[in-house]
């Protein structure tokens, strides 16, 4: 007999929505919050694309509301991190960072994905104050202002093109002399008169001149080492995301980029293990889509625990 019926790992919109639905389904879920409680929205300021808040809501406030709502229906929240997970045997076993062992009949993985940062210090320090990793979330704040996008892949081109709807000028800073992005995205970016490029260069520093808001970047040419300062108001870092799936490697099917593979909703290849949010979605990556898949995962878990048919396409547990 397991300690828990459902354990949810992760406390972003996917995890907390799964908890809300599982709690309302009387499954008394345990949600393990993780070290980055609240997920990526904790790094955002105003969220204007969460339905229901016509004037927007601050990211941390939205997460606090979701957490309180999940608790209101009986979700137990553990402010802890998971050290190991074993889904090879039932019930599934989780060991916390402090050594506590928990067993569960069903598991929802909502550990998210982490945007990659430049790791130059000033980029993280000014996150939410002109530095962003999400154009859809924050582009609107840069109406009529000059900004930079860092990266040369599809995400960077997509964000640069999207941001031209708001910004007066978008400067793409890329470390090589050619883009990694697909030809069609490159063509679109090159054809956009608001986008220009700084090649073979990296962002060495993000400046705020004591204002607490971005005032410019320092760009280093990688071949000559020459530094130059570019005055601008925003920096969008689009150098990829890393799904937080290290705990599950070798136990759950992951795609080539490390994202959990889901079938028919939120089911993984291991019956009883479900995945929701950015850990299984590198396409939409929105808070509202993550929350939607969290709802689906809770319903899928409830049906699994009730022994209801899971439908066609379920595969048996395999270890990669």
- Binding residues for ligand NAP (CB under 6 A): 116, 118, 150-156, 158, 175-176, 180, 202, 239-240, 282
Cβ within 8 Å of residue 111, ≥6 positions away: 9, 10, 34, 243, 244, 245, 247, 279
> Which of 63-68's residues contact partners 24+ apart within 8 Å by CB, and which partners?
63/11, 63/12, 63/13, 63/16, 63/38, 63/39, 64/38, 66/13, 66/16, 66/17, 66/20, 67/11, 67/16, 67/38
CB of 9 to ligand NAP, least distance (A): 24
Sign of the CA dihedral 90, 309, 110, 34? negative
CB of 15 to ligand NAP, least distance (A): 23
CB of 104 to ligand NAP, least distance (A): 32
Cβ within 8 Å of residue 253, ≥6 positions away: 260, 261, 268, 269, 318, 320
Q: Which is nearer to ligand NAP, 86 or 177 (CB)?
A: 177
Q: Which is nearer to ligand NAP, 43 or 85 (CB)?
A: 43
Residue 274 DSSP SS3: strand
295 is catalytic: no
Sign of the CA dihedral 267, 320, 114, 23? positive
Residue showing the smallest CB distance to ligand NAP in the complex: 153
Q: Which is nearer to ligand NAP, 91 or 151 (CB)?
A: 151
Q: Which is nearer to ligand NAP, 71 or 261 (CB)?
A: 261
Single out the catalytic residue among 61, 86, 123, 134. 134
Single out the catalytic residue among 137, 278, 281, 300. 137
Single out the catalytic residue among 123, 138, 281, 300. 138
CB of 285 to ligand NAP, least distance (A): 9
134 is catalytic: yes
- List active site positions: 134, 137-138
């Amino acid at each position: 007999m397991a300690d828990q019926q459902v354990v949810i790992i992760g406390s972003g919109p996917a995890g907390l929505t799964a908890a809300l639905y599982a709690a309302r389904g009387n499954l008394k879920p345990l949600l393990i919050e993780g070290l980055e409680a609240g997920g990526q929205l904790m790094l955002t300021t105003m969220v204007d694309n969460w339905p229901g808040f016509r004037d927007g809501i601050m990211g941390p406030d939205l997460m606090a509301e979701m957490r309180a709502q999940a608790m209101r229906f009986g979700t137990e929240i553990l402010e802890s991190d998971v050290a190991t997970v074993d889904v090879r045997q039932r019930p599934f076993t989780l060991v916390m960072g402090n050594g506590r062992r928990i067993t569960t009949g069903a598991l929802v993985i909502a550990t998210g994905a982490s945007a990659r940062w430049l790791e130059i210090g000033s980029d993280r320090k000014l996150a939410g104050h002109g530095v962003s990793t999400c154009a859809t979330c924050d582009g609107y704040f840069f109406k009529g202002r000059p900004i930079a996008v860092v990266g040369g892949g599809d995400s960077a081109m997509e964000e640069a093109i999207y941001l031209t709807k708001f910004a007066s000028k978008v400067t793409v800073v890329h470390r090589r002399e050619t883009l990694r992005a697909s030809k069609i995205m490159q063509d679109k970016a090159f054809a956009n008169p608001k986008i220009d490029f700084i090649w073979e260069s990296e962002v060495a520093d993000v400046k705020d001149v004591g204002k607490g808001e971005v005032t410019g970047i320092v760009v280093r040419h990688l071949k000559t080492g020459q530094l130059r300062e570019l005055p601008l108001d925003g920096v969008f870092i689009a150098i990829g995301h890393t799904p937080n799936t290290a705990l599950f490697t070798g136990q759950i099917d992951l795609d080539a980029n490390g994202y959990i593979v889901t079938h028919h909703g939120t089911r993984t290849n291991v019956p009883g293990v479900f995945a929701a949010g950015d850990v299984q979605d590198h396409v939409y990556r929105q808070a509202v889509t993550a929350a939607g898949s969290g709802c689906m995962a809770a319903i899928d878990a409830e049906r699994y625990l009730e022994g209801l048919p899971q439908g066609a396409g379920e595969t048996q547990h395999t270890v990669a």
